[in-house]
Structure 1
Amino acid sequence: MAPSGVAAQIAKPNCPDHCGDVEIPYPFGTTKSCAIDHYFFINCTNLSGNFRPLTSDGLFVQSISIHGQLDIVTFTAYDCYNETGLQYHNRPFLRPSPNFPISTTQNKFVAVGCDTYAFLNGFRNNEPFSIGCTSTCESITNVINGSCSGIGCCQVEIPKGLKNFTLSARSYENHTSVLSFNPCSYAFVTKQDLFNFSSAYLDSPIKYNRSVPVVLDWAIGNDTCVNARTRFDYACGGHSTCYDSNNRHGYRCKCEEGYDGNPYLPDGCQDIDECKTRNPYKDSNQICTNIAGRYDCSCREEYEAYYMTDGTAGCRAKVHQSKIICIALGVSISLLVLLVGGSWIYWGLKRRKLMKLKEKFFIQNGGFILQQQRSNHRGSVEIVKIFSTGELEKATNNYDQRRILGEGGYGTVYKGVLSDNKIEQFINEVIVLAQINHRNVVKLLGCCLETEVPLLVYEFITNGTLSNHIHDRTLSFSLLWKERLKIAAEIAGALAYLHSETSIPIIHRDVKSTNILLDDHRNAKVADFGASRLVPLDQTQLTTLVQGTLGYLDPEYFQTSQLTEKSDVYSFGVVMAELLTGKKALSMDRPENDRNLANCLLSAIKEDCLLQILDDQIVKEDNIEELKDVANLAKRCLTVRGEDRPTMKEVAMELEGLRSMEKHPWGKANLSTEETEYLLNKPAESFNIDIGNGTGSSTSTTAGYESMRNQLLNSLNNGR
């Protein structure tokens, strides 16, 4: 145990820096005067002629790192059995000083055995806790060397702040089923990189009845760096800095950049001579000068600095100034000519390539077909405008991200990628959509075909979505029942128009409150036709890939893939339920039976508790019957079988009838039974009536009642 030399001082002056072959750096010391305090005292003990370092707690030390780690030795827990039961076992424990918690990042807890469960019982934050794992296997066959994942071996991480622990290895069945090759259970804490599991560890008793290395973290005191710097006993020496421990209270020291050594000694951090140790210069024309904490490179006389191709500086012979100017001027002029000429050629070729690409996309996206259709239908499709990419870039400020309004069914600004055999169909659909002229449908203004993905241009609707107005409590407060009924009637009228009054019937296929826009006067506008389908006049249904939004999706369409107009009717029924209740179509926050709004509404009507789920803001004494009428209409729209649902035209007519009664001053007057019978020429009782398309379908008693009310209003409007 020789004193440390001055050049490589690691211990305090006149203090031993080794115990045996283990270095003892300060703040540790082999005498109490050589250590910073009694926790860091190392007892250098002579064991059988060999000096071995022990901590103040009696733990064998293997190595000490100046960077905050202390390698010690601990023992393995084991339970070993034979045919008569438990034969020998060991329950080791580790209780280092409070300043030395078990390292979280450097250790792991391991259990080995084929009939084994093991625990680590310890204290953290002065509270007891346990961690553990299970390891099983029936034979060596399934054991994988190098894998500690539960078959013959298991492991868990060590929690932060662990100060002491006891190990316990147990067996489920006393190893009776695996005695022939594995009679023992083992458990131990060890360094992460020193243990690699092997099946050989299972076939010999007391294989781990030996010591294993464990890493402890150490730090100075219990203060943070900020507080420690103000104390008289601050441990960091010159040219060093302080940092907080990440596993316990306390701090550590490290040398500043450009210095090396023991940062806990007053002059332990010594300047590194980079000129000798790192050889930083690249050629013999450079001179390296060492400076405290750093170094400087300069060029020898008659040489000048320049940057090499790898980015580092080098030195080259100086060139006469006038020669440099001439060379630089000639090079600059040559580069300027090349740059101007090359740029002219480049931009010319790029412009030509861009024009050809636009022409290719225009043809690929059906531009010629659309032009031909415009010529053939000049009277009806003149409003279909073909935009250029330049016009759209200007209108959108070069597709500025801040100009994005939202996401449609197929992406931003209603985009869609079509294969070659779908181009004519796409153009035909653009022609049909352009002919839609309904005040409650968002108008298609035109399209751009000069991009790889065709772009559709729609009118801008200013007041957001119906979903926002229903579910935003600030907006919904001002959305009265009268306006909600108007919006429902407008949506129904628009869908009825799409189903029966366009040249080719259109099924929207994604009717929901987020696809209904409102203008400044809260007029409804049906939008987002990205999922819509055109229905040939000779077909009543289409077989398609199921598409839509959960909560609004027609269950019959979902099960059969048969798309009909009644699929839109179901989705509209969900929108009516939203208008009535103020609830979302699907919500995981509601009870399981009420998560789907359609089921919630149907259940409330069936159990005669409708008023409990209606939006409190719309329920008044004078409109309860009207709310029930609309709820029953929504119920019919939500019928599981599509053929039992009304058509959108029937729905629109009933909603308009309710609106008419809302507007008429006598619409809600109490009329006597005699007056009603006189006006209707028949008793006020339930009856069936054919409505609409001559399909022979009949409505329920509610439909009969609605028809009676409509006739009554007509009589009232015409006078008695």
Structure 2
Amino acid sequence: MGFIGILIQVTWVAVVLFELTAAAVAFPIALPNCPDRCGDVEIPYPFGLREGCYIDDNFYVNCTTNSFGKTQPVIPENFNITNISLQGQIDMSMYVAHDCYVQGVSKTWNAPWLNSPLNFTVSSNQNKFVVVGCDTYGDLYGYEQNGEYISTGCASECESTKYIVNSSCSGVGCCEVDIPNGLRNISINLNSINNYTKVENFNPCGHAFISKQGTFTFSIDSLRSLREIEEMPMVLDWAIGTETCNDVTNKSSYICGGNSTCIDSDIGSGYRCKCMDGYSGNPYLRHGCQDIDECENEDNCKGPGEQCLNKLGNFTCSCIEGYHLDQSAGVDVLCVINQPSLQVKLFVGVGIGFIVVLFCSSWLYLIVKQRKLIKLKQRFFEQNGGLILQQKLSKQENSTAIAKIFTKGELQKATNNYDETLIIGWGGFGTVYKGILPDNRIVAIKKSKTVDENQIEQFINEVLVLSQINHRNVVKLLGCCLETQVPLLVYEFIPNGTLFEYIHHESKASTISWETRLRIAAETAEALSYLHFAASPPIIHRDVKSSNILLDSTHTAKVSDFGASRLVPLDQTQFATMVQGTLGYLDPEYMQTSQLTEKSDVYSFGVVLVELLTGKKALSFDRPEVERSLAIYFISFLKDNRLFEIVEKHVAEEGKAEQLKEVANLAKRCLRLKGEDRPTMKEVATELEGLRKVEMHSWVNVDSNSEETKFLLGETSDSYKYNASNKSTNVYDSVRDHVIFDLDDGR
């Protein structure tokens, strides 16, 4: 072999022994001479247990002994840490909010909170906000990294435990929502809608908490067992400082060590460090990232005749004796056995044959799969009533102009395969996408969440009726797609947002005058009156609210979102339906009796009128308890003759006092508790139009022309009589298995 060959082999063995020895030494996680453990929890740098062992005060961990004698690390505010991950997470315990009542009186109530530094936020992808109870709503408040105040929450109800489904947090006994990204300085608030008076016999308590995903599974037993639980596991995201990698890399404050790279944090500010490929350890230490022995991985160099050689940051494969490197293969390493050329040709022939068989099999598989997709679309089409709709359209003249049946492919192309950037709205009934049809028409495509298979014929009838509605203040239904699991509805696109935004968003609230607000109210009332009295069959909207009133480029009102609407059969006078709608706008009589009439829309419209007058939200948990329901709060001001104390400032300045009083009194009549005491939408529309005419003809002398004024205003007396046109109505209800309450915050 020779002296040089022996020297090379000895050197190679020495290098391998050195790297194996280095790999056997445990990777350090803390600074030299600093403790790296508190109890059972490892404390890696940049965190530390004493001064000089952490990067700054935000990363100080206090190692304490609890009342049970167990050593436990805590962060400020005395929250227990169970794990610190160098990938940017902290596992910890967070207090549970409890709210228990005895005979309608709160006996146990707490509101947990956590103040965290700027670069410590509640993880949005590893936590859920959970509310458990049968008469409970919970809110999570906090601040984003940019300092903006934000809140989220959900409500949970159940009249009996027999409706509760284990492992389901869909709103019956338990609800859960995602947590906004970059949330810190959090607090949890818990309340009851009815003080548990309706469910006190089996569950007088509610609970709310942030829970690490996978650690909490809801069951009926949770209603009782959660009363004894004080803490639940939660995950915090953390990052270093507030600068990005580009800003900090060349500064002395940059702490990423050797063989590591910098990654911008996804929580809004700061950065994190990560060991480069082929290295492992603590990237925040100067020499924390050390080489990984890839040869310990049995998947590396596992081919015939291959052997693994570890190198710094990577590895190489070489051939053992009896094999040689085949460089013609076009890959890094392919060790082939030394054999005659005939055997090599045979091997290549077998390989080609295998590739041909694989190609043919794949081709056949794609054909079978394509046929299955075609059959699936046809099955959905028939299941969603496509044949019934085609049959009814064929019997109508100019049916293509009334409603079009779109294909699944057409709407996928129009929405770029339902790109999330094209989402323009969402709510309890589905998601709305902006789409562009082949003829360049811009449309709104509503993707519903569920559909009741037992109500397909009524759904088809509803599509036919809504597609024929041609009213300037109602969003036009253009057609539908039935080739998907749930039907898709296609509407005309309204570009200027919702009335909710123009009332409640600071950037838009002052851009519409009182005159415009009054016109929008009159147009909306006219649209609802059309649905109640001119449509055949009549339609009850059932979810009238400011976020369902769209505005076009001229601020013309367009009533939208008929996902909760119901058609009124002409051969019935009364029908009970499961309560569905948005809290703050729901008719109290409808909630109490489940009897849906057109007067339920009148009540909801009354709340919208109050929004236009006051600029306040219909329901806000940010206001004191007596002010949360805008309708009740507004009525109390009218009783005390304090109308102009609640009217929005610029509305009071622009509108005439008498006109504002008339609108307020009209809203008051719409908000009467008994439906039979409320005016019809036709009467409301007439009165609003009369008020607009008086405003436009300011030369009219109200005192001297009282008869003409009454004609313009319509009947303004409080004594509306119940007549045949103001009767209870019949509806069919395609949602029978659950009760839906929206907490409206804009669309």
Fold match by TM threshold 0.5: yes
Partner deviation per Cα, 1:59-109 (whole Å, 9 max, x = no partner)? xxxxxx998559999xxxxxxxxxxxxxxxxxxxxxx998899x9999762
1:389 is matched with 408
- Contact 1:447–1:456 (CA<8 Å) still a contact in 2? yes
1:349 is matched with 368
Residue 524 of structure 1 pairs with residue 557 of structure 2 = yes
1:335 is matched with 355
2:392 is matched with 373
Residue 480 of structure 1 pairs with residue 499 of structure 2 = no
Counterpart-to-counterpart distance in 1, 2:313 and 2:391: 80
The 5-angstrom pairing of residues 315-330 of structure 1 reads 316-319=336-339, 324=344, 327-328=347-348
Higher mean alpha-carbon deviation, 466-475 vs 654-663, is at: 466-475
1:109 is matched with 65
Partner deviation per Cα, 1:124-153 (whole Å, 9 max, x = no partner)? 99xxx9999xxxxxxxxxxxxxxxxxxxxx
- Contact 2:669–2:718 (CA<8 Å) still a contact in 1? no
Counterpart of 2:421 (choices 402, 423, 428) is: 402
- Contact 1:68–1:252 (CA<8 Å) still a contact in 2? no
- The runs of 5 or more residues in structure 1 that have no matched partner are 1-64, 74-95, 113-117, 133-222, 230-240, 259-271, 698-720
Sort the Cα spacing of 1:474 and 1:130 in 2 relative to 1 into closer, same or farther, 3 A: closer
Counterpart of 1:645 (choices 663, 666, 678) is: 678
- Contact 2:677–2:722 (CA<8 Å) still a contact in 1? no
Partner deviation per Cα, 1:549-593 (whole Å, 9 max, x = no partner)? 111111111111111111111100110111111111111222221
- The runs of 5 or more residues in structure 2 that have no matched partner are 1-30, 40-48, 81-251, 259-278, 432-445, 728-747
The 5-angstrom pairing of residues 4-83 of structure 1 reads 68-69=34-35
What is the CA-CA distance between 1:320 and the residue it aligns to?
Answer: 6.1
Amino acid at match of 2:582: T
Counterpart of 1:298 (choices 313, 318, 336) is: 318
- Contact 2:543–2:582 (CA<8 Å) still a contact in 1? yes
What is the CA-CA distance between 1:295 and the residue it aligns to?
Answer: 8.0
Sort the Cα spacing of 1:315 and 1:554 in 2 relative to 1 into closer, same or farther, 3 A: same
The 5-angstrom pairing of residues 616-635 of structure 1 reads 616-620=649-653, 623-635=656-668
Counterpart-to-counterpart distance in 2, 1:281 and 1:335: 23
- Contact 2:447–2:487 (CA<8 Å) still a contact in 1? no
Counterpart-to-counterpart distance in 1, 2:726 and 2:370: 64
Amino acid at match of 1:548: G
Counterpart-to-counterpart distance in 2, 1:481 and 1:636: 21
TM-score, structure 1 as length reference: 0.56
- Contact 2:324–2:336 (CA<8 Å) still a contact in 1? yes
What is the CA-CA distance between 1:318 and the residue it aligns to?
Answer: 3.5
Structure possessing the higher relative contact order (Cα contacts under 8 Å, 6 or more residues apart): 2
- Contact 2:282–2:288 (CA<8 Å) still a contact in 1? no
What is the CA-CA distance between 1:620 and the residue it aligns to?
Answer: 2.9
What is the CA-CA distance between 1:640 and the residue it aligns to?
Answer: 1.3
- Contact 1:381–1:431 (CA<8 Å) still a contact in 2? no
Counterpart-to-counterpart distance in 2, 1:425 and 1:382: 21
Amino acid at match of 2:535: T
* Secondary structure of 1:514's aligned partner: helix
Residue 605 of structure 1 pairs with residue 635 of structure 2 = no
Counterpart of 2:496 (choices 445, 448, 463) is: 463
What is the CA-CA distance between 1:297 and the residue it aligns to?
Answer: 5.9
Counterpart-to-counterpart distance in 2, 1:446 and 1:291: 64
Partner deviation per Cα, 1:478-517 (whole Å, 9 max, x = no partner)? 2001110010001111111111111112111110011111
Amino acid at match of 1:527: S
Counterpart-to-counterpart distance in 2, 1:601 and 1:472: 20
* Secondary structure of 1:456's aligned partner: strand
CA RMSD, Structure 1 to Structure 2 (Å): 5.1
What is the CA-CA distance between 1:474 and the residue it aligns to?
Answer: 2.2
What is the CA-CA distance between 1:459 and the residue it aligns to?
Answer: 1.0
Partner deviation per Cα, 1:605-659 (whole Å, 9 max, x = no partner)? 1111111211112223761110111011001111111111111111011001101
Partner deviation per Cα, 1:143-188 (whole Å, 9 max, x = no partner)? xxxxxxxxxxxxxxxxxxxxxxxxxxxxxxxxxxxxxxxxxxxxxx
Counterpart-to-counterpart distance in 2, 1:304 and 1:634: 91
Counterpart-to-counterpart distance in 2, 1:695 and 1:590: 39
The 5-angstrom pairing of residues 507-518 of structure 1 reads 507-518=540-551
Counterpart-to-counterpart distance in 1, 2:491 and 2:483: 17
What is the CA-CA distance between 1:415 and the residue it aligns to?
Answer: 1.8
Amino acid at match of 1:362: F
2:528 is matched with 495
What is the CA-CA distance between 1:331 and the residue it aligns to?
Answer: 3.3
* Secondary structure of 2:653's aligned partner: coil
Sort the Cα spacing of 1:546 and 1:679 in 2 relative to 1 into closer, same or farther, 3 A: closer
* Secondary structure of 1:562's aligned partner: coil
Partner deviation per Cα, 1:682-718 (whole Å, 9 max, x = no partner)? xxx9978767956799xxxxxxxxxxxxxxxxxxxxx
- Contact 1:409–1:530 (CA<8 Å) still a contact in 2? no
- Contact 1:535–1:541 (CA<8 Å) still a contact in 2? no
- Contact 1:243–1:252 (CA<8 Å) still a contact in 2? no
Counterpart-to-counterpart distance in 2, 1:254 and 1:678: 89
- Contact 1:224–1:244 (CA<8 Å) still a contact in 2? no
Residue 588 of structure 1 pairs with residue 621 of structure 2 = yes
Counterpart-to-counterpart distance in 1, 2:382 and 2:301: 63
TM-score, structure 2 as length reference: 0.54
Counterpart-to-counterpart distance in 2, 1:556 and 1:462: 35
Amino acid at match of 1:364: Q
* Secondary structure of 1:620's aligned partner: helix
Q: How many residues align?
A: 475
* Secondary structure of 2:650's aligned partner: coil
What is the CA-CA distance between 1:351 and the residue it aligns to?
Answer: 3.0
Counterpart-to-counterpart distance in 2, 1:429 and 1:406: 22
Counterpart of 1:424 (choices 440, 457, 471) is: 457
- Contact 2:545–2:608 (CA<8 Å) still a contact in 1? yes
2:590 is matched with 557
Sort the Cα spacing of 1:131 and 1:109 in 2 relative to 1 into closer, same or farther, 3 A: farther
Counterpart-to-counterpart distance in 2, 1:567 and 1:466: 20
Counterpart-to-counterpart distance in 1, 2:375 and 2:611: 50
Residue 437 of structure 1 pairs with residue 484 of structure 2 = no
Higher mean alpha-carbon deviation, 478-487 vs 599-608, is at: 599-608
> What fraction of aligned residue pairs are identical, expressed as a percent?
50
1:5 is matched with none
- Contact 2:532–2:598 (CA<8 Å) still a contact in 1? yes
Counterpart-to-counterpart distance in 2, 1:245 and 1:337: 48
- Contact 1:489–1:656 (CA<8 Å) still a contact in 2? yes
Amino acid at match of 1:635: K
Partner deviation per Cα, 1:184-231 (whole Å, 9 max, x = no partner)? xxxxxxxxxxxxxxxxxxxxxxxxxxxxxxxxxxxxxxx9997999xx
1:704 is matched with none
Sort the Cα spacing of 1:292 and 1:443 in 2 relative to 1 into closer, same or farther, 3 A: closer
Sort the Cα spacing of 1:275 and 1:402 in 2 relative to 1 into closer, same or farther, 3 A: closer
Counterpart-to-counterpart distance in 2, 1:680 and 1:630: 15
Between structure 1 and structure 2, the one with the greater Rg is: 1
Sort the Cα spacing of 1:305 and 1:540 in 2 relative to 1 into closer, same or farther, 3 A: farther
- Contact 2:384–2:487 (CA<8 Å) still a contact in 1? yes
The 5-angstrom pairing of residues 262-281 of structure 1 reads none
Counterpart-to-counterpart distance in 1, 2:495 and 2:484: 27
Counterpart-to-counterpart distance in 1, 2:529 and 2:36: 81
- Contact 1:289–1:296 (CA<8 Å) still a contact in 2? yes
* Secondary structure of 1:618's aligned partner: helix
Counterpart-to-counterpart distance in 1, 2:471 and 2:488: 22
